[in-house]
Chains A and B, each alone.
Chain A
Amino acid sequence: MTSTSQPIAHWDPMEQFAADPRSVRDPHPELARRRREQPVAPRAAWGAAGEVQGYELYRFEDCAAVLRDNETFSSESIRAGMSAVMGPYPLVGMDEPEHRRLRSLVAQAFRHKTLAHFEDDLVVPVVDEMVDEFADRGNAELVRELTYRYPVQVIAVILGLPRDDYEQFHHWASAIISVAARPMEAIRSSSELKQYLVGVLDDRRSHPRDDLVSDLVAADLDGERLGDEEIFSFLRLLLPAGAETTYRATGNLLFGLLNDPVQLDAVRTDRSLLTQAVEEAIRWEPPLLITSRVAVHDAEIAGTEIPAGAQVIPNIGSANRDETRWDHAEEFDLQREAKPVISFGVGPHMCLGMHLARMEMRAAVNRLVDRCPNLRLDPAADDAHIHGETFRSPTQLPVLFDVAA
Protein backbone atom coordinates (compact mmCIF):
# COMPACT_ATOMS: atom_id res chain seq x y z
CA MET A 1 0.00 0.00 0.00
CA THR A 2 1.29 3.42 -0.89
CA SER A 3 -1.01 5.62 1.15
CA THR A 4 -2.74 5.41 4.47
CA SER A 5 -6.23 4.00 4.58
CA GLN A 6 -9.07 5.70 6.31
CA PRO A 7 -12.16 3.83 7.37
CA ILE A 8 -14.91 3.79 4.76
CA ALA A 9 -17.22 5.37 7.32
CA HIS A 10 -15.31 8.64 6.94
CA TRP A 11 -16.51 9.21 3.41
CA ASP A 12 -19.18 11.70 2.83
CA PRO A 13 -20.96 10.95 -0.43
CA MET A 14 -22.61 14.35 -0.19
CA GLU A 15 -19.30 16.02 -0.83
CA GLN A 16 -19.83 15.29 -4.48
CA PHE A 17 -22.89 17.47 -4.65
CA ALA A 18 -20.76 20.40 -3.59
CA ALA A 19 -18.68 19.58 -6.65
CA ASP A 20 -21.57 20.38 -8.94
CA PRO A 21 -21.46 24.15 -8.96
CA ARG A 22 -24.70 24.47 -10.87
CA SER A 23 -26.29 22.05 -8.50
CA VAL A 24 -30.00 22.57 -8.17
CA ARG A 25 -32.67 20.54 -6.51
CA ASP A 26 -34.92 20.01 -9.48
CA PRO A 27 -33.76 21.04 -12.96
CA HIS A 28 -36.70 19.37 -14.70
CA PRO A 29 -39.17 22.28 -14.91
CA GLU A 30 -36.48 24.44 -16.52
CA LEU A 31 -35.48 21.58 -18.86
CA ALA A 32 -39.12 21.23 -19.92
CA ARG A 33 -39.27 24.96 -20.67
CA ARG A 34 -36.14 24.72 -22.80
CA ARG A 35 -37.48 21.75 -24.76
CA ARG A 36 -40.41 23.95 -25.68
CA GLU A 37 -38.77 27.32 -26.12
CA GLN A 38 -35.05 26.92 -26.73
CA PRO A 39 -34.21 23.36 -27.74
CA VAL A 40 -30.71 24.31 -28.93
CA ALA A 41 -29.41 26.80 -26.37
CA PRO A 42 -26.11 28.68 -26.69
CA ARG A 43 -24.00 28.51 -23.53
CA ALA A 44 -20.39 28.79 -22.44
CA ALA A 45 -18.38 25.58 -22.48
CA TRP A 46 -14.84 24.60 -21.61
CA GLY A 47 -12.60 22.88 -24.12
CA ALA A 48 -8.95 21.88 -24.08
CA ALA A 49 -7.91 25.47 -24.87
CA GLY A 50 -10.23 27.29 -22.47
CA GLU A 51 -13.66 28.75 -23.01
CA VAL A 52 -15.41 27.92 -26.29
CA GLN A 53 -18.86 28.44 -27.70
CA GLY A 54 -21.23 25.67 -26.64
CA TYR A 55 -24.77 24.57 -27.42
CA GLU A 56 -26.87 22.48 -25.07
CA LEU A 57 -29.52 20.23 -26.63
CA TYR A 58 -32.76 19.30 -24.90
CA ARG A 59 -34.90 17.27 -27.30
CA PHE A 60 -34.61 13.51 -27.65
CA GLU A 61 -34.17 13.40 -31.41
CA ASP A 62 -31.47 16.09 -31.46
CA CYS A 63 -29.50 14.48 -28.62
CA ALA A 64 -29.70 11.01 -30.19
CA ALA A 65 -28.73 12.33 -33.65
CA VAL A 66 -25.58 14.01 -32.28
CA LEU A 67 -24.51 10.96 -30.27
CA ARG A 68 -25.01 8.74 -33.32
CA ASP A 69 -23.11 10.99 -35.74
CA ASN A 70 -19.58 10.50 -34.49
CA GLU A 71 -18.11 11.69 -37.79
CA THR A 72 -19.45 15.19 -37.30
CA PHE A 73 -19.31 15.23 -33.50
CA SER A 74 -16.03 14.15 -31.95
CA SER A 75 -15.49 12.87 -28.39
CA GLU A 76 -11.95 14.27 -28.18
CA SER A 77 -12.95 17.02 -25.75
CA ILE A 78 -13.85 14.36 -23.19
CA ARG A 79 -10.39 12.89 -23.58
CA ALA A 80 -8.79 16.30 -23.11
CA GLY A 81 -10.74 16.78 -19.90
CA MET A 82 -10.06 13.33 -18.55
CA SER A 83 -6.44 12.62 -19.36
CA ALA A 84 -4.99 14.15 -16.22
CA VAL A 85 -6.85 11.59 -14.14
CA MET A 86 -7.38 8.66 -16.52
CA GLY A 87 -4.18 8.67 -18.52
CA PRO A 88 -3.91 8.99 -22.31
CA TYR A 89 -6.49 6.42 -23.47
CA PRO A 90 -9.92 6.95 -21.91
CA LEU A 91 -12.19 4.94 -24.22
CA VAL A 92 -15.10 7.33 -23.82
CA GLY A 93 -13.05 10.23 -25.21
CA MET A 94 -11.57 8.54 -28.26
CA ASP A 95 -12.59 8.78 -31.92
CA GLU A 96 -12.52 6.25 -34.76
CA PRO A 97 -10.65 4.24 -35.76
CA GLU A 98 -8.73 4.22 -32.44
CA HIS A 99 -11.94 3.90 -30.45
CA ARG A 100 -13.26 0.86 -32.25
CA ARG A 101 -9.99 -1.00 -31.93
CA LEU A 102 -9.77 -0.37 -28.19
CA ARG A 103 -13.44 -1.03 -27.61
CA SER A 104 -13.35 -4.37 -29.44
CA LEU A 105 -10.37 -5.46 -27.36
CA VAL A 106 -11.82 -4.53 -23.96
CA ALA A 107 -15.27 -5.77 -24.94
CA GLN A 108 -13.72 -9.21 -25.37
CA ALA A 109 -12.86 -9.26 -21.71
CA PHE A 110 -16.31 -8.07 -20.75
CA ARG A 111 -17.98 -10.77 -22.78
CA HIS A 112 -15.74 -13.49 -21.54
CA LYS A 113 -18.04 -14.67 -18.82
CA THR A 114 -21.74 -14.66 -18.78
CA LEU A 115 -23.46 -12.11 -16.62
CA ALA A 116 -25.41 -14.86 -14.91
CA HIS A 117 -22.15 -16.09 -13.46
CA PHE A 118 -21.23 -12.54 -12.45
CA GLU A 119 -24.55 -12.04 -10.74
CA ASP A 120 -24.55 -15.08 -8.48
CA ASP A 121 -20.83 -15.39 -7.87
CA LEU A 122 -19.75 -11.76 -7.66
CA VAL A 123 -22.53 -9.21 -7.30
CA VAL A 124 -25.02 -10.87 -4.95
CA PRO A 125 -22.31 -11.77 -2.38
CA VAL A 126 -21.10 -8.15 -2.36
CA VAL A 127 -24.64 -6.84 -1.78
CA ASP A 128 -25.36 -9.49 0.83
CA GLU A 129 -22.28 -8.68 2.80
CA MET A 130 -23.30 -5.04 3.02
CA VAL A 131 -26.90 -5.90 3.92
CA ASP A 132 -25.54 -8.19 6.67
CA GLU A 133 -24.24 -5.13 8.45
CA PHE A 134 -27.72 -3.67 8.98
CA ALA A 135 -30.15 -6.56 8.46
CA ASP A 136 -30.80 -7.09 12.17
CA ARG A 137 -31.16 -3.41 12.95
CA GLY A 138 -34.52 -2.70 11.32
CA ASN A 139 -33.29 0.54 9.81
CA ALA A 140 -30.58 1.76 7.48
CA GLU A 141 -29.44 4.73 5.48
CA LEU A 142 -29.15 3.06 2.11
CA VAL A 143 -26.99 5.67 0.36
CA ARG A 144 -24.13 5.46 2.83
CA GLU A 145 -24.58 1.83 3.80
CA LEU A 146 -25.21 0.28 0.41
CA THR A 147 -25.61 2.20 -2.85
CA TYR A 148 -22.48 4.32 -2.50
CA ARG A 149 -20.34 1.33 -1.65
CA TYR A 150 -21.36 -1.72 -3.59
CA PRO A 151 -20.52 -0.76 -7.22
CA VAL A 152 -16.90 0.06 -6.31
CA GLN A 153 -16.59 -3.24 -4.53
CA VAL A 154 -18.08 -5.07 -7.50
CA ILE A 155 -15.34 -3.56 -9.67
CA ALA A 156 -12.68 -4.61 -7.13
CA VAL A 157 -14.05 -8.15 -7.25
CA ILE A 158 -14.21 -8.21 -11.06
CA LEU A 159 -10.60 -7.00 -11.21
CA GLY A 160 -9.67 -9.85 -8.90
CA LEU A 161 -8.09 -7.64 -6.22
CA PRO A 162 -7.23 -9.22 -2.88
CA ARG A 163 -9.78 -8.60 -0.15
CA ASP A 164 -7.30 -6.77 2.03
CA ASP A 165 -6.95 -4.11 -0.65
CA TYR A 166 -10.66 -3.31 -1.00
CA GLU A 167 -10.64 -0.51 1.50
CA GLN A 168 -7.69 1.20 -0.12
CA PHE A 169 -9.30 0.71 -3.51
CA HIS A 170 -12.52 2.33 -2.23
CA HIS A 171 -10.47 5.21 -1.05
CA TRP A 172 -8.80 5.83 -4.40
CA ALA A 173 -12.12 5.35 -6.14
CA SER A 174 -13.78 7.91 -3.92
CA ALA A 175 -11.05 10.46 -4.50
CA ILE A 176 -11.08 9.90 -8.28
CA ILE A 177 -14.86 10.22 -8.43
CA SER A 178 -14.66 13.50 -6.49
CA VAL A 179 -12.32 15.03 -9.07
CA ALA A 180 -14.40 18.17 -9.53
CA ALA A 181 -14.40 18.94 -5.79
CA ARG A 182 -10.76 18.12 -5.10
CA PRO A 183 -8.79 17.85 -8.36
CA MET A 184 -5.34 17.58 -6.78
CA GLU A 185 -6.34 14.71 -4.56
CA ALA A 186 -7.97 12.95 -7.50
CA ILE A 187 -4.82 13.26 -9.60
CA ARG A 188 -2.67 12.00 -6.73
CA SER A 189 -4.98 9.06 -6.05
CA SER A 190 -5.09 8.22 -9.71
CA SER A 191 -1.32 8.02 -9.92
CA GLU A 192 -1.18 5.91 -6.75
CA LEU A 193 -3.83 3.63 -8.17
CA LYS A 194 -1.84 3.32 -11.37
CA GLN A 195 1.29 2.29 -9.45
CA TYR A 196 -0.79 -0.29 -7.65
CA LEU A 197 -2.24 -1.56 -10.93
CA VAL A 198 1.26 -1.92 -12.39
CA GLY A 199 1.86 -4.58 -9.74
CA VAL A 200 -1.47 -6.28 -10.40
CA LEU A 201 -0.81 -6.36 -14.13
CA ASP A 202 2.69 -7.83 -13.69
CA ASP A 203 1.27 -10.51 -11.45
CA ARG A 204 -1.53 -11.50 -13.86
CA ARG A 205 0.90 -11.59 -16.75
CA SER A 206 2.89 -14.32 -15.05
CA HIS A 207 -0.05 -15.90 -13.17
CA PRO A 208 -3.24 -15.50 -15.23
CA ARG A 209 -6.46 -16.00 -13.30
CA ASP A 210 -10.16 -15.82 -13.88
CA ASP A 211 -10.49 -12.05 -13.62
CA LEU A 212 -10.82 -8.93 -15.75
CA VAL A 213 -7.15 -7.93 -15.57
CA SER A 214 -6.07 -11.36 -16.84
CA ASP A 215 -8.67 -11.15 -19.61
CA LEU A 216 -7.39 -7.73 -20.68
CA VAL A 217 -3.82 -9.05 -20.78
CA ALA A 218 -4.98 -11.97 -22.93
CA ALA A 219 -7.33 -10.00 -25.23
CA ASP A 220 -6.29 -10.56 -28.82
CA LEU A 221 -7.98 -9.43 -32.02
CA ASP A 222 -6.22 -10.82 -35.08
CA GLY A 223 -2.90 -10.27 -33.37
CA GLU A 224 -3.79 -6.81 -31.96
CA ARG A 225 -3.13 -6.61 -28.23
CA LEU A 226 -3.76 -4.00 -25.57
CA GLY A 227 -0.82 -1.88 -24.51
CA ASP A 228 -0.15 -1.41 -20.79
CA GLU A 229 -1.12 2.27 -20.87
CA GLU A 230 -4.40 1.37 -22.56
CA ILE A 231 -5.15 -1.11 -19.80
CA PHE A 232 -4.34 1.40 -17.04
CA SER A 233 -6.54 4.06 -18.63
CA PHE A 234 -9.37 1.62 -19.07
CA LEU A 235 -9.22 0.31 -15.52
CA ARG A 236 -9.23 3.80 -14.05
CA LEU A 237 -12.11 4.85 -16.31
CA LEU A 238 -14.20 2.10 -14.73
CA LEU A 239 -14.42 4.10 -11.51
CA PRO A 240 -16.28 7.19 -12.74
CA ALA A 241 -17.91 5.36 -15.66
CA GLY A 242 -18.92 2.22 -13.84
CA ALA A 243 -19.10 2.91 -10.12
CA GLU A 244 -20.35 6.45 -9.75
CA THR A 245 -23.09 6.05 -12.36
CA THR A 246 -24.32 2.77 -10.95
CA TYR A 247 -24.35 4.02 -7.37
CA ARG A 248 -26.43 7.04 -8.33
CA ALA A 249 -28.74 5.04 -10.61
CA THR A 250 -29.45 2.45 -7.90
CA GLY A 251 -30.30 5.28 -5.51
CA ASN A 252 -32.70 6.80 -8.02
CA LEU A 253 -34.39 3.44 -8.62
CA LEU A 254 -34.82 2.88 -4.88
CA PHE A 255 -36.05 6.44 -4.43
CA GLY A 256 -38.69 5.96 -7.13
CA LEU A 257 -39.89 2.70 -5.60
CA LEU A 258 -39.77 3.76 -1.94
CA ASN A 259 -41.80 6.86 -2.71
CA ASP A 260 -44.50 4.84 -4.40
CA PRO A 261 -45.46 1.90 -2.17
CA VAL A 262 -47.90 0.57 -4.78
CA GLN A 263 -45.15 0.18 -7.38
CA LEU A 264 -42.74 -1.16 -4.76
CA ASP A 265 -45.34 -3.80 -3.81
CA ALA A 266 -45.82 -4.70 -7.45
CA VAL A 267 -42.07 -5.33 -7.75
CA ARG A 268 -41.99 -7.23 -4.46
CA THR A 269 -44.59 -9.68 -5.68
CA ASP A 270 -43.45 -9.90 -9.30
CA ARG A 271 -39.69 -9.61 -9.62
CA SER A 272 -39.87 -9.85 -13.37
CA LEU A 273 -41.03 -6.21 -13.22
CA LEU A 274 -37.53 -5.24 -12.10
CA THR A 275 -36.23 -5.16 -15.66
CA GLN A 276 -38.80 -2.48 -16.52
CA ALA A 277 -38.26 -0.74 -13.20
CA VAL A 278 -34.56 -0.34 -13.97
CA GLU A 279 -35.28 1.03 -17.46
CA GLU A 280 -37.89 3.43 -16.11
CA ALA A 281 -35.63 4.64 -13.30
CA ILE A 282 -32.79 5.49 -15.68
CA ARG A 283 -35.26 7.24 -18.00
CA TRP A 284 -36.92 9.23 -15.20
CA GLU A 285 -33.75 10.20 -13.35
CA PRO A 286 -30.56 9.21 -15.21
CA PRO A 287 -27.51 9.42 -12.94
CA LEU A 288 -25.48 11.36 -15.51
CA LEU A 289 -27.34 14.12 -17.32
CA ILE A 290 -24.89 15.47 -19.82
CA THR A 291 -22.02 14.46 -22.02
CA SER A 292 -20.25 16.48 -24.69
CA ARG A 293 -19.00 16.48 -28.25
CA VAL A 294 -17.13 18.93 -30.49
CA ALA A 295 -18.28 19.74 -34.04
CA VAL A 296 -15.42 18.87 -36.40
CA HIS A 297 -16.97 20.95 -39.19
CA ASP A 298 -19.85 23.39 -39.51
CA ALA A 299 -23.13 21.65 -38.88
CA GLU A 300 -26.78 22.40 -38.26
CA ILE A 301 -29.00 21.10 -35.48
CA ALA A 302 -32.74 21.76 -35.63
CA GLY A 303 -32.18 24.91 -37.66
CA THR A 304 -29.35 26.30 -35.52
CA GLU A 305 -25.94 26.75 -37.16
CA ILE A 306 -23.18 25.03 -35.19
CA PRO A 307 -19.74 26.36 -36.16
CA ALA A 308 -16.76 24.00 -36.36
CA GLY A 309 -15.02 23.80 -32.99
CA ALA A 310 -18.16 24.50 -30.96
CA GLN A 311 -19.03 22.16 -28.14
CA VAL A 312 -22.35 20.37 -28.31
CA ILE A 313 -23.84 19.16 -25.05
CA PRO A 314 -26.72 16.69 -25.25
CA ASN A 315 -28.83 16.85 -22.08
CA ILE A 316 -29.76 13.21 -21.57
CA GLY A 317 -31.93 14.00 -18.56
CA SER A 318 -34.05 16.32 -20.67
CA ALA A 319 -34.14 14.02 -23.70
CA ASN A 320 -35.52 11.21 -21.56
CA ARG A 321 -38.51 13.33 -20.56
CA ASP A 322 -39.32 14.56 -24.05
CA GLU A 323 -43.12 14.78 -24.01
CA THR A 324 -43.31 14.17 -27.75
CA ARG A 325 -41.97 10.66 -27.06
CA TRP A 326 -43.43 9.74 -23.66
CA ASP A 327 -46.83 10.42 -22.10
CA HIS A 328 -46.79 11.82 -18.55
CA ALA A 329 -43.02 11.85 -18.96
CA GLU A 330 -42.46 13.47 -15.56
CA GLU A 331 -43.81 10.44 -13.71
CA PHE A 332 -42.00 7.30 -12.58
CA ASP A 333 -44.29 4.66 -14.04
CA LEU A 334 -42.94 1.20 -14.51
CA GLN A 335 -45.98 0.09 -16.49
CA ARG A 336 -45.31 2.47 -19.35
CA GLU A 337 -44.73 1.19 -22.87
CA ALA A 338 -41.05 0.26 -23.34
CA LYS A 339 -39.07 2.57 -25.64
CA PRO A 340 -35.33 2.96 -25.95
CA VAL A 341 -33.89 5.65 -23.66
CA ILE A 342 -30.50 7.33 -24.04
CA SER A 343 -29.37 7.11 -20.43
CA PHE A 344 -26.57 4.79 -21.56
CA GLY A 345 -25.87 7.02 -24.52
CA VAL A 346 -26.38 5.83 -28.09
CA GLY A 347 -24.11 5.43 -31.11
CA PRO A 348 -20.61 3.97 -31.10
CA HIS A 349 -19.90 5.05 -27.50
CA MET A 350 -23.01 3.48 -26.02
CA CYS A 351 -22.18 2.29 -22.54
CA LEU A 352 -19.97 -0.76 -22.45
CA GLY A 353 -21.10 -1.63 -18.93
CA MET A 354 -24.85 -1.30 -19.42
CA HIS A 355 -25.59 -4.99 -18.98
CA LEU A 356 -23.50 -5.12 -15.84
CA ALA A 357 -25.14 -1.93 -14.53
CA ARG A 358 -28.65 -3.23 -15.12
CA MET A 359 -27.81 -6.48 -13.45
CA GLU A 360 -26.21 -4.76 -10.46
CA MET A 361 -29.29 -2.58 -10.00
CA ARG A 362 -31.64 -5.56 -10.22
CA ALA A 363 -29.52 -7.59 -7.83
CA ALA A 364 -29.36 -4.80 -5.23
CA VAL A 365 -33.13 -4.27 -5.17
CA ASN A 366 -33.81 -8.00 -5.24
CA ARG A 367 -31.64 -8.72 -2.25
CA LEU A 368 -32.91 -5.72 -0.28
CA VAL A 369 -36.51 -6.72 -0.82
CA ASP A 370 -35.74 -10.35 0.02
CA ARG A 371 -33.84 -9.61 3.16
CA CYS A 372 -35.63 -6.54 4.53
CA PRO A 373 -39.33 -7.43 4.83
CA ASN A 374 -41.77 -4.54 4.63
CA LEU A 375 -39.00 -2.22 3.42
CA ARG A 376 -40.26 1.38 3.47
CA LEU A 377 -39.04 4.94 3.60
CA ASP A 378 -38.58 6.15 7.18
CA PRO A 379 -41.46 8.61 7.72
CA ALA A 380 -39.12 10.68 9.86
CA ALA A 381 -36.79 11.08 6.84
CA ASP A 382 -35.61 14.66 6.81
CA ASP A 383 -36.14 15.93 3.28
CA ALA A 384 -34.72 13.00 1.31
CA HIS A 385 -34.75 14.04 -2.33
CA ILE A 386 -32.91 13.51 -5.61
CA HIS A 387 -30.38 16.28 -6.04
CA GLY A 388 -27.99 17.65 -8.63
CA GLU A 389 -27.86 19.02 -12.13
CA THR A 390 -24.97 17.27 -13.88
CA PHE A 391 -25.20 14.12 -11.77
CA ARG A 392 -28.37 13.24 -9.91
CA SER A 393 -29.07 10.90 -7.02
CA PRO A 394 -30.76 10.92 -3.62
CA THR A 395 -29.11 12.84 -0.78
CA GLN A 396 -30.16 10.06 1.59
CA LEU A 397 -32.44 7.02 1.73
CA PRO A 398 -33.37 6.32 5.35
CA VAL A 399 -35.48 3.17 5.52
CA LEU A 400 -37.24 1.00 8.07
CA PHE A 401 -38.03 -2.69 7.76
CA ASP A 402 -39.14 -5.63 9.87
CA VAL A 403 -36.47 -7.78 11.44
CA ALA A 404 -36.97 -11.51 11.01
CA ALA A 405 -37.43 -13.08 14.45
Chain B
Amino acid sequence: MVLRIEIDATRCMGSGNCSFWAPGTFDLDDDGLAFVKDLAGDPEDKIILSGQGCPTQAIAIWRDDERIV
Protein backbone atom coordinates (compact mmCIF):
# COMPACT_ATOMS: atom_id res chain seq x y z
CA MET B 1 0.00 0.00 0.00
CA VAL B 2 1.55 3.27 -1.09
CA LEU B 3 1.21 6.21 1.28
CA ARG B 4 -0.06 9.63 0.27
CA ILE B 5 2.35 12.38 1.29
CA GLU B 6 1.87 16.15 1.23
CA ILE B 7 4.43 18.82 2.07
CA ASP B 8 3.23 22.28 3.06
CA ALA B 9 5.82 24.52 1.39
CA THR B 10 4.82 27.49 3.54
CA ARG B 11 5.83 25.59 6.67
CA CYS B 12 8.93 23.75 5.41
CA MET B 13 12.12 25.41 6.68
CA GLY B 14 14.51 23.22 4.75
CA SER B 15 15.98 21.28 7.67
CA GLY B 16 16.67 18.27 5.49
CA ASN B 17 15.48 16.03 8.30
CA CYS B 18 13.09 14.18 6.00
CA SER B 19 15.71 13.58 3.32
CA PHE B 20 18.11 12.34 6.01
CA TRP B 21 15.75 9.62 7.24
CA ALA B 22 14.13 8.77 3.91
CA PRO B 23 16.54 9.87 1.16
CA GLY B 24 14.76 7.79 -1.48
CA THR B 25 11.49 9.58 -0.83
CA PHE B 26 12.33 13.21 -0.02
CA ASP B 27 14.76 15.66 -1.51
CA LEU B 28 15.40 19.40 -1.28
CA ASP B 29 14.93 21.68 -4.29
CA ASP B 30 17.13 24.61 -5.29
CA ASP B 31 15.36 26.88 -2.82
CA GLY B 32 16.09 24.40 -0.06
CA LEU B 33 12.48 23.26 0.27
CA ALA B 34 11.47 19.63 0.50
CA PHE B 35 9.60 17.73 -2.20
CA VAL B 36 8.51 14.14 -2.64
CA LYS B 37 10.49 12.45 -5.38
CA ASP B 38 9.19 8.91 -4.93
CA LEU B 39 6.15 7.98 -2.86
CA ALA B 40 7.64 4.59 -2.07
CA GLY B 41 11.34 5.36 -2.13
CA ASP B 42 12.00 3.95 1.34
CA PRO B 43 10.52 1.44 3.79
CA GLU B 44 7.28 2.73 5.26
CA ASP B 45 8.63 3.04 8.81
CA LYS B 46 11.37 5.38 7.57
CA ILE B 47 8.87 7.56 5.70
CA ILE B 48 6.69 7.80 8.80
CA LEU B 49 9.72 8.60 10.94
CA SER B 50 10.53 11.44 8.53
CA GLY B 51 7.03 12.82 8.81
CA GLN B 52 7.03 12.64 12.61
CA GLY B 53 10.47 14.20 12.80
CA CYS B 54 9.70 17.23 10.64
CA PRO B 55 10.56 20.17 12.88
CA THR B 56 7.77 22.37 11.55
CA GLN B 57 5.09 19.70 10.99
CA ALA B 58 5.11 20.45 7.29
CA ILE B 59 4.63 16.80 6.29
CA ALA B 60 1.22 15.11 6.26
CA ILE B 61 0.90 11.39 5.51
CA TRP B 62 -2.22 9.31 4.79
CA ARG B 63 -2.69 5.57 4.52
CA ASP B 64 -5.89 5.02 2.55
CA ASP B 65 -8.12 7.73 3.97
CA GLU B 66 -6.56 7.75 7.37
CA ARG B 67 -4.17 10.54 8.31
CA ILE B 68 -1.28 8.85 10.12
CA VAL B 69 1.13 11.79 10.47
Residues in A lying within 8 Å of B, measured CB to CB: 68, 100, 103-104, 107-108, 111, 338-340, 345-348, 350, 354-355, 358
Question: What's the Cα separation between A355 and B57 when bound, in Å?
Answer: 19
Q: What are the residues of chain A within 8 A of B28 when measuring CB–CB?
A: 111
Tell me which residues across on chain A come within 8 A of B15, comparing CB atoms. Answer: 350, 354
User: Can you name 9 A-B pairs with beta carbons within 8 Å?
Assistant: A100-B13, A338-B45, A338-B49, A339-B52, A340-B52, A348-B13, A348-B55, A350-B13, A355-B16
Kindly identify which residue among B14, B32, B49, B55 contacts A346, using a CB–CB cutoff of 8 Å.
Answer: B55
Contacting pair A348 B14 (CB below 8 A)? no
Which residue of B has the minimal Cβ distance to A345?
B55
CB distance from A349 to the nearest CB of B (A): 8
- Total interface residues on B, CB under 8 Å, equals 15
Do residues B49 and A339 form an inter-chain contact, with CB atoms below 8 A? yes
Judging by beta carbons under 8 Å apart, are B52 and A350 in contact? no
Are A355 and B20 in contact, with the CB atoms below 8 A?
yes
Contact of A111 among B17, B32, B45, B52 (CB under 8 A): B32
Q: Which residue of A lies closest to B20 (CB)?
A: A355
Provided the pairs A111-B32, A338-B49, A339-B49 are in contact, do residues A68 and B13 lie with their beta carbons within 8 angstroms? no
Q: What distance in Å separates the Cβ of A222 from its nearest Cβ neighbour in chain B?
A: 10
In the complex formed, the residue of B with least CB distance to A279 is: B21
Please list the residues of chain B having a beta carbon within 8 angstroms of any beta carbon in chain A. Answer: 13-17, 20, 28, 32, 45, 49, 52-53, 55-57
The answer on a CB contact under 8 Å between B17 and A350 is yes
- B16 x A347 contact (CB < 8 A): no
Which residues does chain A contribute within 8 Å of B16, judged by CB atoms? 111, 355
**Closest B residue by C-beta to A64:** B55
Which of chain B's residues has its CB closest to A103's CB? B13
B55 touches A68 (CB 8 A): yes
Q: Chain A contacts of B13 at CB under 8 A? A: 100, 103, 348, 350
A348 touches B53 (CB 8 A): no
| Interfacial chain B residues near A350, Cβ < 8 Å | 13, 15, 17, 55
Cross-chain contact A68 with B14 (CB below 8 angstroms): no
- Report the bound CA distance from A358 to B19 in whole Å: 14
Give chain B nearest CB distance to A31 CB in angstroms. Answer: 23
Q: Which residues of A contact B52 (CB under 8 A)?
A: 339-340
> Looking at the complex, which one of A338, A348, A354 makes contact with B56 (CB distance below 8 Å)?
A348
Give the CA-CA distance A27 to B32 in the complex, in Å: 39
CA distance in complex: A111, B13 (Å): 13
* C-alpha spacing A108/B31, complex, angstroms: 8
- Shortest distance in angstroms between B31's beta carbon and chain A's nearest beta carbon? 8
* A108 and B32 contact, Cβ closer than 8 Å, known pairs A339-B49, A348-B13, A355-B20: yes
Contact status B32-A68, CB under 8 Å? no
**Bound Cα distance A354, B16 (Å):** 9
| Cα distance A103–B14 in the bound complex, in angstroms | 9
